[in-house]
Amino acid sequence: MSLAWLDEIQWTPDGLVPAIAQDYRSGQVLMMAWMNRESLALSVAEGRAIYWSRSRGKLWRKGEASGHVQKLHGMRLDCDSDVILLQVEQLGGIACHTGREHCFYKALRDGQWQPVEPVIKDPDSIYG
């Protein structure tokens, strides 16, 4: 398969594009991460979400440490061609490293960010 579709993406100057992972059934936004050309091409080839870890400076196969893999069901590109939407099946039901279903668990309440989603599994038991 040709990888010409990668050329249509408006990459940041450092070669990245933001990617939003969304549950393909419910539409729940699970998380946001960064992808580069290699991680995006590998995601399509392997049928799972693979991101670029800016902090580690390497590919990050979602679930490689936790087992919480994101199976890829579809992919969309926004109107400006600068954001990817990954439609995924979140295996294990946990997308966030805090042990929650998704990363957007804080809501602004009375001028403060308050956790409003429960921890499903203690992160220490996931990552050791």
User: Each residue of 55-109: pLDDT tens digit?
Assistant: 999 999 999 889 999 999 999 999 999 999 999 999 999 999 999 999 999 999 9
pTM for the predicted model, two decimal places = 0.92
Q: Give strand pairing partners of 17.
A: 35
Identify whether 114 is part of a domain: yes
Identify whether 126 is part of a domain: no
- If phi > 0 it is left, if psi is from -120 to 50 it is alpha, else beta; for residue 20 that is beta
Identify whether 127 is part of a domain: no
Separation CA 104–CA 71 (nearest Å): 20
| Percentage, residues of the chain above pLDDT 70 | 99
Q: What is the mean pLDDT of residues 15-39?
A: 98
Number of domains the chain contains: 1
CA terminus-to-terminus distance, the chain? 39
Which range marks the domain in which residue 35 is found? 4-120
Provide φ and ψ at 47, rounded to 5°: 70, 30
CATH number at residue 9: 3.10.20.810
Q: What is the mean pLDDT of residues 46-63?
A: 96
Q: Binning pLDDT at 50, 70 and 90, where does residue 1 land?
A: low
Identify whether 125 is part of a domain: no
Identify whether 88 is part of a domain: yes
Q: What is the largest CA-CA distance in the chain?
A: 52
Identify whether 26 is part of a domain: yes
